[in-house]
Homo-oligomer: A and B are copies of this chain.
Amino acid sequence: MLTTDDWDAIKKCALFKAMDPADFGDLIDAGSVVKLSRNQQLFAHGDPARALFLIVSGQVKLTRLAADGSEAVVHVFGAGETFAEAAMFMGGRYPVAATAIMDTRLIAISNGRLRAQVLVKPEIAFAMLASMAQHLKALVAQIEQMKLMTTKQRVARFLLDHAGKTDGAANFTLPHDKALIANRLGMQPETFSRALAQLTSHGIVVAGAEVSIEDVGRLTRVLSFE
């Protein structure tokens, strides 16, 4: 059954801005709600793509699995975000696996139903294009980082991206486990831990998941030098 929180999430979602809320019923019903517990998989690489998802609460990671069982985290999505839009246009198979990294509540939006709505409201297509453009940009940034930044720089970049400020002091909580962040940044947990330790000399303090940056501008300088 859909709660008011669910409806709030749907109304706030960029994808459906163009839609008349009266038509939501055509897209979503009681069966659309999906609850996942920590580490539970939503879909695997190669599964038929029947829906895209909106996260109401929790977090989901998208990964690719290697032959030897190790995995590469492609992206982590949080509350309010939609993912797997692209699968709708991609030969009917998910190219990645999706797994909840904490207890997560999401809403499944059937590809078929959405297609029907797009025919009625082409503006939805624009919203999807914008969303996919964002994802593309994020992936390009990730590729750039892995190709031409050191681990230390990638960690600094990550911290700066999450500081939410461009100068002065900042503090925030790491969005998920350090091991997961490390994977996302393309490095081992040990390397991540050491990089954080090194950044202490650039004015950051990490206590558990709490990070405080003394001076964002100073940390930015790490990106250009060394």
Q: A122-B125, A140-B64, A224-B67 are in contact. Are A186 and B147 (CB under 8 A)?
A: yes
The secondary-structure label for the interface of chain A is helix
Contact with B along A182-226 (1 / 0, CB 8 A): 010010000000000000000000000000000000000001100
When distances are taken between beta carbons in the complex, the residues of chain B under 8 Å from A58 are: none
| A146 at the B interface (CB under 8 A) | yes
Within 8 A of B (CB), among A63-104: 64, 66-67, 70-72, 74, 86-90, 95-96
Instruction: Kindly identify which residue among B87, B133, B146 contacts A90, using a CB–CB cutoff of 8 Å.
Output: B133
Copies of this chain present: 2
**Residues of B with C-beta under 8 A to A39:** none
User: Cβ of B128 and Cβ of A118 under 8 Å apart?
Assistant: no
Chain A, 107-146, CB within 8 A of any chain B CB: 118-119, 122, 125-126, 128-130, 132-137, 139-144, 146
CA distance A76 to B129 in the complex (A): 22
- Once bound together, how far apart are the Cα atoms of A72 and B130, in whole Å? 24
Structural contact, A74 and B144, CB atoms closer than 8 A: yes
Q: A1 at interface (Cβ–Cβ under 8 A)?
A: no
Q: Does A22 reach chain B (CB closer than 8 Å)?
A: no
